[in-house]
A and B are shown apart, each in its own frame.
Chain A
C-alpha cells in the first residue's frame, strides 16, 4: 500500500507542479504535443500522439484531452496528467478539426478527405451521425446555445449551417476562397468565417444567415495576396478578435464593434491557430513554418517571447 502511494506521488511529481497552467500545442509533423507552462513559458513536457495531430481540445473539467490524429484516422483521448492515451474514438477518415458541444459529450469533427462532418458521442464512443458537406471541410464552430454547428469547406467555399437536433444542413452561405475557421461571437448573434485565399473574414447575422460585412487586411510592405486569415479567437470580453494572417506572419487585432483593425502584431512564420492562457493575460499562437509559438501580452498587444516547439505546430488548447 505504502509502495503504491509512493508510486502515485512520484507520478504526480513527474506530471509537474499542481496548479501550473499549461498551453498544449500539437506538432503536426512530429506526432507530438508540446506542453508549455504558461508562467515560465518553457516546454515542460513533450507527449507522443498518433500520426499528424492537429485539432486539440479539453473536456470541460480538463480531465481529458481530445486530439485529432489525422493520419491515424482517429480522435485520441488522453489523460492530461499522465499523457497516457486512454482510448481512441471513431472519427471518420482524416479528422482535422473539431468542436466539443456545450453538452461536454458530443464531438463534431471535420473529415477533410471525406467531405463529411462526423458526430461522435464521447461516452458511448459511437458515431451518432455523418453529415454530407462540401469538399475539404475544416473549420468547425458551435453556437453558445449548442443549437447550431458550422462547418466550412475549403474547396466548396461555404459555411454549412447544421442543426444539432436533426443533423441536417439548414443553410449554406458562400464566403471567399478557402474558408479555414469559424467562430460564433460570445453572445451567439454573429458568426465570423475566415477565408485564407480570399484574404477576408465574413461576418454573418446568425438569425437570418445574412452577411453583415467583410473584413479586409492590409500591411505595409507585404503583398495583399500573402495576407491570408486563418485561425482566430475572440478576447474574453468579446471586444477584440485576434486573427492569424498565415504567411503574412502577423496577428491582426480587430475591434468587433467597428470591424477596424487596431494593430498588427509581428509573430513567427505562417501563423496558424491560437489559444489564451487560462487567466487570459497571454495569447499563444502557433507558427507552422518556423516551428515555434509566439506568446503575446494581451493587455499591451506586444509579443513577449518565442518558444521553440516541434515541427509544424498547428493546434493549441489550455488548461488551468
Chain B
C-alpha cells in the first residue's frame, strides 16, 4: 500500500516536472462525399489535412519538451451521414482548441454552438470569402486562404505579365462558382478585363476526347491573353492545357495555379518542411495539409511565446502585433485583426515548379503588402472582431 502511494506521488512529480503547460488540440473533420472527377490519376488522400495537423503537433512537441510544455492532438473524423454538431459538442467538452475541416455552413453552426463560446476554432479548409466578411465569427480563425486571396494573387501575377484580358471557363460545382466570383472581383480590383465566359457542362469522357472537344469549345471565345479556369475539384481543367484553339496559357485551378501550398514549393527552407511531411506520409503536402499544419503551429507558437494555454489568452496573443509564424514562405505570417484570416504569401505554381509568389513586387500597401491579397480592413464587413 505504502509503495503504491509512493509511486503515485512519484508519477505525479514526474509529470508535473516534465509538463508545466499541457495543451490539448482536437482535429475535427466532417467527411464529405466528393463528386466524381474525369481523371482517376489523383485520388484525394484520406488523411488530407489531418496529416498536416499531425506534423504540426510533432513540431510543437519538439519545442515543448525544452520548455516543459506538452501537446496532444485528438482526431475526430465524422462520416458524411453522421451528426457533425453532436460530435462537435463532444469534442468541445474535451478541449477548447480546435482545428476543423468542414464546409462553411457547418463551421458556422459549430462556432455558434453555446458550447463553442470562448473556444478557439481554426478553419483549415473552407475558402468561402464570406466567412472572412459579414459571416465572420469571433471564435473562428482561418489558416486556409480565402478564394479572394487566391484570385487576387493570380490577378497580380497576370497584371505583372500584362496578360490583361481573360476568358473564363467555369465548372458547375459550388466551389467553381465561388472561385469564379472571386476571380471576377479580382479582375475588377486589379484593372483586368474578362472578355468572355463559358460554363463547362460536358458529359463526355475527356480522357479520350479532349483533342476533339476542347479546340471548338474554346474557338468561340472572344479574344483573350489567357484562359482562366475555375475547376476546384480537378474535374476537367487538366484537359484544357495544350488543347485550346489559340495558343494561350491556362491559369486558375489548373496551369498556373494560386495555392496556399503545393509540393512544388521548395524556396525559403520549404524543402525541409516538404521532406518532413513526405517522410511521414509518402505523399506531397497539399494546401489543406499546410493550413492544418499552420493552425497547429500557430497554437504552438502562441503557447511558446505567451506561456498561456487558455483559448482567450492564446487568441489575444495570436491577434496581437507580437505574433509571427515562420511558415516557409519567406516572410513572417500573422493574423488579420479585423477578420482572423492568416496573412500569407500565395505561391503561384505549376506542377513542377514555383512560377511566382504573391504579393508581387510593385503592389504596395500602407501597412503590409500581404494585405493586398483578400479582404483588407476598409472593405471588410466583419464586425465580430471589433469587440
Contacts from A to B (Cβ < 8 Å)? 112-113, 115, 134-136, 154-158, 160, 169, 172, 174, 176-178, 197-199, 223, 225-226, 247
Does B62 make an interface contact (CB < 8 A)? yes
A-B contact count (CB 8 A): 59
**A-B contact sample (19 more), CB < 8 A, given A134-B66, A155-B326:** A112-B272, A113-B276, A134-B62, A134-B63, A135-B59, A135-B63, A136-B269, A158-B63, A160-B66, A174-B304, A176-B324, A177-B325, A177-B326, A178-B326, A197-B324, A199-B332, A223-B368, A225-B368, A247-B330
Q: Which of B304, B331, B369 contacts A197 (CB 8 A)?
A: B331
Assembly CA distance A74 to B288 (angstroms): 35
Contacts of B89 in A (CB 8 A): none
Minimum CB–CB distance for B306 against chain A, Å: 11
Contacts of B280 in A (CB 8 A): none
Assembly CA distance A157 to B59 (angstroms): 11
Given contacts A112-B272, A154-B269, A197-B331, contact A174 B305 (CB under 8 A): yes
Given contacts A177-B324, A178-B269, A197-B326, contact A156 B62 (CB under 8 A): yes
Minimum CB–CB distance for A95 against chain B, Å: 14
Assembly CA distance A47 to B66 (angstroms): 41
Contact call A177/B272, Cβ cutoff below 8 A? no
Assembly CA distance A177 to B331 (angstroms): 10
Task: Rank and list the top 10 A-B pairs by shortest CB-CB distance, nearest first.
Answer: A177-B326, A172-B66, A225-B331, A197-B326, A156-B63, A178-B326, A135-B62, A197-B332, A136-B272, A156-B62
Assembly CA distance A153 to B166 (angstroms): 46
Given contacts A156-B63, A172-B67, contact A198 B332 (CB under 8 A): yes
Assembly CA distance A113 to B279 (angstroms): 11
11 example contacts (A-B, Cβ-Cβ < 8 A) are as follows: A113-B276, A135-B59, A155-B63, A156-B59, A158-B63, A158-B66, A177-B325, A197-B332, A198-B332, A223-B368, A247-B330
Contacts of A113 in B (CB 8 A): 272, 275-276
Minimum CB–CB distance for A275 against chain B, Å: 23
Assembly CA distance A134 to B275 (angstroms): 16
Interface size on B, residues (CB 8 A): 19
Chain B residue at minimum C-beta to C-beta distance from A195: B326
Given contacts A156-B62, A156-B66, contact A198 B324 (CB under 8 A): yes
Contacts of B332 in A (CB 8 A): 177, 197-199, 225
Contacts of A115 in B (CB 8 A): 62
Minimum CB–CB distance for A133 against chain B, Å: 9
Minimum CB–CB distance for A221 against chain B, Å: 12
Chain B residue at minimum C-beta to C-beta distance from A174: B304
Assembly CA distance A157 to B323 (angstroms): 14
Minimum CB–CB distance for A146 against chain B, Å: 24
Chain B, residues 52-70, CB within 8 Å of chain A (1/0): the string is 0000000100110011000
Assembly CA distance A134 to B269 (angstroms): 16
Contacts of A223 in B (CB 8 A): 368-369
Minimum CB–CB distance for B16 against chain A, Å: 19
Minimum CB–CB distance for B277 against chain A, Å: 12
Assembly CA distance A154 to B271 (angstroms): 13
Contacts of B325 in A (CB 8 A): 177
Contact call B326/A157, Cβ cutoff below 8 A? yes
Assembly CA distance A112 to B275 (angstroms): 11
Minimum CB–CB distance for B3 against chain A, Å: 31
Contacts of B324 in A (CB 8 A): 176-177, 197-198
Contacts of B330 in A (CB 8 A): 247
Assembly CA distance A176 to B304 (angstroms): 11
Assembly CA distance A178 to B272 (angstroms): 13
Contacts of A136 in B (CB 8 A): 269, 272
Assembly CA distance A134 to B304 (angstroms): 13
Chain B residue at minimum C-beta to C-beta distance from A173: B66
Assembly CA distance A172 to B63 (angstroms): 10
Minimum CB–CB distance for B53 against chain A, Å: 16
> Which residue among A115, A155, A160 has the maximum number of chain B CB atoms within 10 Å of its CB?
A155
Contact call B304/A157, Cβ cutoff below 8 A? yes
Minimum CB–CB distance for B9 against chain A, Å: 27
Contacts of A169 in B (CB 8 A): 66
Q: Which of B335-387 contact A (CB under 8 A)?
A: 368-369
Chain B residue at minimum C-beta to C-beta distance from A158: B66
Assembly CA distance A154 to B276 (angstroms): 14
